């Protein structure tokens, strides 16, 4: 039980420190979230720590009135329990007055929060919550609030947001101006190496990235899931970070880590996924059984973490580029798989039951990889009867017709800036 006076101090202090900066980078997801403010459903925003969820909340606040706010990241709330929510409700009214909209930041820290959120929803209040765990919507929350919420995922800055952070507005047509193109390519090279973490971009402080990584590791993974094999988890992270865009199996990792079974590996990787640190990419297959038995590919949420985990000492621009494209596809809300049969295609985009796009990613196309990259894309296009495919490179542009199928070759930064689907 937490004292009411302590709650009042916390809420008042957070209110006084709640500076809404008008010059912050407007997140691309903002306009979509704002559309749902008039809807009665709860808005849930999830994403890794420090990717900008709190800033996004502040941007939403600018478009609303009669709201109240609390962040559960305050260490003085470590003893907060479910029965304290009613007391919190009283304090929020005392500090903010009567309110119609409630903003709760990092609410997943509190057990049984979903019951309180549902009660506020039943009372007709608009509730907007954030959390740093992808399983926020699972278990009790998903059961108690089925059909009552709209979920959004937030990622570190896209390349377009990265440009806005640097004070650069890149219009679609500017990509075809030589001077502008050279500048954008230089910035994109920087982006695929250092990533899009807002705070990290301010000073490129490796220690900040290390501290953030350790917070995610120890608070969101080791402590949350009561992991005893801390050394094994760290070794697994190093392997995955070094193997970005590569395939793996749970059994191969089990052997490398010296574990007795692959279940532990599977569980650990699911924890990494829940914390938004790593993502698994499955092979597309009509058989769920075969899909689950096939190797997976792994991607890292942001390139900044290459500085603090993994065993490589120099950036691999090809893998970094593929990683950036994968995260961009996730950011756009696409359902993504990889294709593998006689040859491989990096990404297939699925909409419902239909594959709508095939994307191959390589730093550049030359004599050493041309046949491999094109054949992988063509095989995927044949398999899913696609007339159009996409090869994303660092800076090359071309258009090919093979077997009556069009292949667009375009620079990945242009694809991101133009928000181009190309299929």
State the CATH number of the domain containing residue 120. 3.40.50.300
CA distance linking residue 105 with residue 331, whole number of Å: 21
Average pLDDT in the chain: 92
Q: Which of 321, 341, 367 is the last residue of a domain?
A: 321
3-state secondary structure of 350: strand
Handedness of CA 10, 15, 16, 22 (dihedral sign): positive
pLDDT band at 142 (very low <50, low <70, confident <90, very high): low
Domain match, 271 and 313 both: yes
Q: What CA–CA distances, in Å, run from 282 to 294, 329, 337?
A: 8, 14, 5
Question: From CA 390, how far away is CA 381, in angstroms rounded?
Answer: 10
Q: What are phi and psi of 398, to 5 degrees?
A: -165, 170
Are 356 and 407 within one domain?
yes
What tens digit of pLDDT does each residue of 292-320 get?
899 999 999 999 998 788 666 567 899 99
| Residue 162, domain CATH | 1.10.10
C-alpha closest to that of 63 among 22, 16, 18, 117: 22
pLDDT band at 137 (very low <50, low <70, confident <90, very high): low
Instruction: Report d(CA 342, CA 354) in Å as an integer.
Output: 21
Q: Average pLDDT for residues 342-351, to the nearest whole number?
A: 96
Q: Tokens 């994303």 identify what position?
A: 392
Tell me whether strands 405-411 and 126-131 are parallel, antiparallel or unpaired: unpaired
Shared domain for 100 and 126, answered yes or no, is: yes
pTM over 0.85: yes
Give the mean pLDDT of 224-236: 95
Tell me which H or E stretch contains 35: none
What phi and psi, each to the nearest 5 degrees, are found at residue 154? -115, 135
CA atoms within 13 A on the CB side of 215: 11
Residue 368 corresponds to which tokens in the numbers above?
A: 């050493």
- Helix, strand or coil for residue 182? helix
In a domain, 327, yes or no: no
Q: What is the pLDDT of residue 138?
A: 65
* H or E element that contains 215: helix 206-215
State pLDDT tens for residues 63-118. 999 999 999 999 889 889 889 999 999 999 999 999 999 999 998 878 889 889 99
409 three-class SS:
strand
135 and 175 in a single domain? The answer is no
pLDDT given for residue 79 in this prediction: 86
143 and 198 assigned to the same domain: no
8 Å CB contact between 321 and 412: yes
Same domain for 62 and 131, yes or no, is yes
pLDDT for the residue 311: 61
CB-CB neighbours of 260 under 10 Å: 7
Tokens of 154: 């937030």
Q: Are 95 and 15 in contact (CB under 8 A)?
A: yes
Q: How far is CA 205 from CA 179, 187, 324, 359, in A?
A: 30, 18, 21, 34
Residue 326 lies in a domain: no
What share of the chain has pLDDT > 70, as a percent?
A: 96
For residue 275, the enclosing domain spans 157-321
Let me know whether 146 and 206 are in one domain.
no
Is 269 found in the same domain as 161? yes
pLDDT at residue 150 greater than cutoff 60: yes
Q: Do 307 and 341 fall within a single domain? A: no
What domain count does the chain have? 3
Q: Given a cut of 60, is residue 423 above it in pLDDT?
A: no
Domain boundary among 103, 123, 153: 153
Q: What is the pLDDT of residue 121?
A: 94
Q: Is residue 39 part of a domain?
A: yes
Q: What is the pLDDT of residue 309?
A: 81
The whole-number pLDDT of residue 418 equals 84
CA distance 136 to 142: 8
Q: In this structure, what token pair is assigned to residue 268?
A: 């650990």
Using DSSP's 3-state secondary structure scheme, residue 100 falls into coil
Q: What is the pLDDT of residue 312?
A: 60
pLDDT, residue 31, reads 96
Which of 153, 172, 207 is the last residue before a domain boundary? 153
Which of 240, 244, 242, 241 shows the shortest CA–CA distance to 253? 240
């Amino acid at each position: 039980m937490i004292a009411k006076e302590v709650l009042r101090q916390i809420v008042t202090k957070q209110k006084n420190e709640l500076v809404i900066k008008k010059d912050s980078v407007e997140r691309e997801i903002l306009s979509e979230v704002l559309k749902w403010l008039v809807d009665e459903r709860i808005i849930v925003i999830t994403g890794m720590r420090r990717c900008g969820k709190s800033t996004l909340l502040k941007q939403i606040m600018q478009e609303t009135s009669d709201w109240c706010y609390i962040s559960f990241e305050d260490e003085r709330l470590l003893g907060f329990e479910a029965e304290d929510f009613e007391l919190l409700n009283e304090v929020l009214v005392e500090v903010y007055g009567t309110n119609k909209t409630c903003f709760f930041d990092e609410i997943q820290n509190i057990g049984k929060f979903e019951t309180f959120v549902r009660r506020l929803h039943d009372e007709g209040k608009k509730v907007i919550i954030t959390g740093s765990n992808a399983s926020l919507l699972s278990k009790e929350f998903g059961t108690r609030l089925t059909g009552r919420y709209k979920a959004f995922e937030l990622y570190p800055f896209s390349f377009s947001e990265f440009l806005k952070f640097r004070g650069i507005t890149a219009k679609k047509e500017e990509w075809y101006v030589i001077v502008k193109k050279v500048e954008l390519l230089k910035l994109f090279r920087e982006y695929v190496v250092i990533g899009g973490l807002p705070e990290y971009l301010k000073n490129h402080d490796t220690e900040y990235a290390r501290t953030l990584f350790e917070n995610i590791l120890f608070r969101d993974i080791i402590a949350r899931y009561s992991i005893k094999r801390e050394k094994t988890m760290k070794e697994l992270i190093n392997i995955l970070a070094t193997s970005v865009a590569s395939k793996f199996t749970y059994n191969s990792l089990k052997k490398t880590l010296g574990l007795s079974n692959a279940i532990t590996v599977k569980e650990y990787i699911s924890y990494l996924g829940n914390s938004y640190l790593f993502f698994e990419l499955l092979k597309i297959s009509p058989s769920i059984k075969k899909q689950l038995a096939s190797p997976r590919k792994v991607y890292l949420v942001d390139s900044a973490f290459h500085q603090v985990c993994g065993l490589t000492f120099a950036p691999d621009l090809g893998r970094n580029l593929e990683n950036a494209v994968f995260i961009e596809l996730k950011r756009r809300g696409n359902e993504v798989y990889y294709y593998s049969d006689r040859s491989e295609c990096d990404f297939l985009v699925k909409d419902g039951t239909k594959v709508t796009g095939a994307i191959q990613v390589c730093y550049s196309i030359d004599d050493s990889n041309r046949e491999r990259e094109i054949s992988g894309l063509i095989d995927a296009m044949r398999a899913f009867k696609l007339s159009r495919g996409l090869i994303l490179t660092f800076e090359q542009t071309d258009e090919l017709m093979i077997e009556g199928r069009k292949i667009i070759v375009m620079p990945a930064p242009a694809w991101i800036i133009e928000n181009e689907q190309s299929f």
